[in-house]
Chains A and B, each alone.
Chain A
Amino acid sequence: MEVLDEGEGELLAWCDPDEHREWVRKNKCLSMEDKTMGLREAISKFVQDGSYIALGGFGHVRVSMAAIYEIIRQRKRNLVVAGKTAVHDLDCLIAAGCVSKVEVAYAFGHELRGLSPASRRAVETGQVKVATEWSNGAFQWRFKAAASGLPWIPAYIMMGTDTFKHSSAKIVKDPFTGRPICLIPACFPDVAIIHVHRCDRYGNCQIDGILVEDLELARAAKKLIITTEEIIPNKRIREEPWRTCIPYFYVDAVVEVPYGSHPCNMPGCYYFDEEHIAEYLLLTRTTEGTKKYFDKYVYNVKNFDEYLELVGGVKKLNYLRKLEKGKARFTYPWIQS
């Protein structure tokens, strides 16, 4: 195949599929074992300084905030993060100084709430380096290629743009159509962290609502930490096996963390805590405020339960559950802030 053009971005988290296959055979546990452990253990065991990490969900929807706070608490450094629709998840990691490099499809923004002050500051001062640019479609297809054990996946996107120029994709002449097509390289993250609605102790997972790209990401990552709202008996998984979207083979750790996505949205369970997000966005406008935020909500709390008390406890959590069902008044305090 004739290569017509090559992106100039750094090729990260890619390997020859043959190497990956051998890695899988040697390292993945294929027997159904109890994978439950505490959050502290899961993060210290699987996330190292310099790891390439990818976070499941959609930036501020079904993201594992409990795991993110734990990464911050353990002061992990120089992480490389897949900015595959990264919103509050990545912004917190950047604000706390854990990240040195990002591959960007969508990052440094809070969607309708505006840009993320902490991330912008980090990128504009050079503290965090943007390694590559992608589209959302491209990033999830990188995981699909990896999940399928393939070196790349072809798609009709990114061509003709600077997004392509700053990616690590290549454009080739397709031997079937004779036209240019973009080859999007596989992405095998060192570790992925996915928050789910429920799973058993072995890691057979059910997700309600959209899957985003977790079906692919779960299979692309070398190590997979699952945090879950609830651990259910294996019997329930087996009663409705068609609901399993991640089977145990891929899972390395199962951590039960109810409300583990707070202040983000957990579809069907609880809505965004806009009051908390507004406080975060306001404080992270300055480095002093950022320190104050993480001292208050991460470093000076022992665990996630204590954090939940601090953000408003049962009363707040019940309100967020009502909001999710459209049965309470929505507020958007960041409109004024």
Chain B
Amino acid sequence: MARPDFTQTEMMIVAASRLLEDGKTVFTGTGMPILAALLAQNTHAPKLAIIYEAGGMCPHKPPTIPLSVGDSMTTYKAVMASSMDYAMSFIQAGYGEYAFLGAAQIDMYGNINTTVIGPHDKPKVRLPGSGGANDFGSLCWRTIIIMRQDKQRFVEKLDFITTPGYLTGPGAREKAGLPRNTGPWRVVTQLGIYGFDEDKRMILLSIHPNVDVKDVQENSCFPIKIADNLVTTPEPTTKELKVLRSLDPYHVVLRK
């Protein structure tokens, strides 16, 4: 399935980066989300404002990718070194267009788990917890989740809802008290790009090259709907790959 000239990770990051519209704000988590945002900024979206939860606003061409959403690279030639109160208030007031998150588990409503695998009081694997994810997923207009897909990750029921997706379906976010018209917008995996239908359930919008539709269902515990107008994700272009690899010259993220 994998072609020799680009990896699954590269396909995921390229597909995710194309989702980001120029001239908007994006709040990213560590790893693939940062790299996807940087790729967008260095290709089709030069005016994309990358903002980090710890306070870095709009860094410009850092010499290496941030290892942390609060390290020096997040303020490299930035427009402002602010604070977490500043960044979180900014999105609560409606200035956060995209949230860009990773996840350990996701369900069909786009709820995500980054806290624990197994019971909370007797964890099988203890993960780091929400970090800024719950804030981003609650407050940004459109949340994009980038993660690998398999039956351990695309689950019927999460072990723990760390960050809200559409919770139990239409109207549930608003009923819980979350700001209206927010929620998960896209999910990008090594197999395709998903959106959410009118029932707020995950639906396959685009399938990556050389992936079969049955792979998509075989790698999920919940049923995945297929869009009527399903398209194939265009392969990464030579330019996208070149820029992407130059942004992570030490293969800190791309090694995965």
- Residue of A105, A138, A215, A216 with most chain B CB atoms under a 10 A cut-off: A105
CA of A126 to CA of B126, assembled, Å: 11
A211 and B252 in contact, given A59-B68, A112-B31, A159-B164 (Cβ under 8 angstroms):
no
Interface presence of A185 (CB below 8 A): no
B118-146 near A? 1/0 per residue, CB < 8 Å: 00101111111111111100110000000
Nearest Cβ on chain A to B18's Cβ, whole angstroms = 23
Say which residue of A113, A181, A213, A335 sits within 8 Å of B177 (CB atoms): A181
Looking at B81, B125, B134, B252, which has the most chain A CB atoms within 10 Å of its CB?
B134
Q: How many residues of B contact A (CB 8 A)?
A: 61
| CB-defined contacts of A213 to chain B, threshold 8 Å | 83-85
| B71 proximal to A (CB < 8 A) | yes
Of B51-59, B200-208, B237-245, the stretch lying at the interface with chain A is B51-59
Residue of A whose beta carbon sits closest to that of B166: A160
Task: Report if B219 contacts A (CB, 8 A).
Answer: no
A208 to B24, CA, bound (A): 27
**B68 A182 Cβ-Cβ under 8 A:** no
- Chain B residue numbers with a CB within 8 Å of A293 are none
Q: With contacts A85-B54, A158-B134, A162-B115 known, is A104 near B68, CB below 8 A?
A: no
In the complex, how many angstroms separate the beta carbon of A7 from the nearest chain B beta carbon?
A: 13
A67 sits at the interface (CB 8 A) = no
Q: How far is the CA of A60 from the CA of B130 in the complex (A)?
A: 17
Q: Say whether A301 faces chain B, with CB atoms less than 8 Å apart.
A: no
Contact with B along A49-90 (1 / 0, CB 8 A): 000000001111100000000000000000000010101000
Q: Which residues of A contact B135 (CB under 8 A)?
A: 135-138, 157
How distant is the Cα of A85 from the Cα of B130 in the complex, in angstroms? 10
CA distance A87 to B84 in the complex (A): 16
Interchain nearest-CB distance for A163 vs B (Å): 5
Q: Does A233 belong to the interface (CB within 8 Å)? A: no
The answer to whether B186 has its CB under 8 Å from any CB of chain A is: no
Q: State in angstroms the CA–CA spacing of A134 and B135 once bound together.
A: 10
Q: Which 8 A-B pairs have the closest CB atoms?
A: A180-B177, A58-B70, A109-B128, A160-B176, A326-B63, A210-B55, A137-B135, A135-B134
Q: Is B30's beta carbon under 8 Å from chain A?
A: yes
Number of interface residues of A (CB under 8 A): 68
Residue among A60, A137, A155 with max Cβ neighbours from chain B (10 Å)? A137
**Which of A119, A120, A123, A267 has the most CB atoms of chain B within a 10 A radius of its CB?**
A267
Q: List 18 A-B contacts (CB under 8 A).
A: A61-B72, A108-B127, A108-B129, A109-B127, A111-B30, A120-B125, A123-B123, A137-B53, A141-B88, A156-B139, A157-B139, A160-B178, A181-B177, A211-B83, A265-B71, A326-B62, A330-B250, A335-B255
Residues in chain A within 8 A of chain B (CB atoms): 57-61, 83, 85, 87, 104-109, 111-113, 115, 119-120, 123-124, 126, 130, 133-138, 140-141, 144, 155-163, 166, 171, 179-182, 208-216, 265, 267-268, 271-272, 324, 326, 330-332, 335
B213 within 8 A of A: no
Residue of A111, A115, A208, A210 with most chain B CB atoms under a 10 A cut-off: A210
Chain A residue nearest in CB terms to B74: A210
On whether A267 and B88 interact (CB within 8 A), knowing A107-B129, A112-B30, A162-B161, the answer reads: no
Q: Which of B120, B177, B250 has the most CB of A within 10 A?
A: B177
Expressed in whole angstroms, the minimum distance between the Cβ of A265 and any Cβ of chain B is 5
Taking the nearest CB of chain B, how far is it from the CB of A168, in angstroms? 15
Looking at A83, A113, A211, the one whose CB has the most chain B CB atoms below 10 A away is: A211
How many angstroms between the C-alpha atoms of A23 and B125 in the bound complex?
41
Majority secondary structure, B binding face: loop
A115-B31 Cα distance, complex, nearest whole Å = 13
A85 to B84, CA, bound (A): 11
| Any A CB within 8 A of the CB of B153 | no
Distance of A57 Cα from B75 Cα, bound (Å): 14
B65: nearest chain-A partner, CB-CB? A112
Report B224-256 residues with CB < 8 Å from chain A CB. 250-253, 255
- The smallest C-beta distance from A153 to any residue of chain B, in angstroms, reads 10
Question: A107-B129, A130-B126, A160-B161 given. 16 additional CB < 8 A pairs?
Answer: A111-B30, A111-B68, A112-B67, A123-B123, A126-B122, A136-B130, A138-B135, A140-B84, A140-B85, A160-B164, A162-B160, A180-B176, A208-B81, A209-B75, A210-B55, A210-B83
Instruction: Report B255 CB to chain A, min CB distance, Å.
Output: 6
Residues of B within 8 Å of A214, CB to CB, are 83
A171 to B88, CA, bound (A): 19
The residue of chain A having its C-beta at the shortest distance from the C-beta of B135 within the complex is A137
Distance of A186 from chain B, by nearest CB (Å): 14
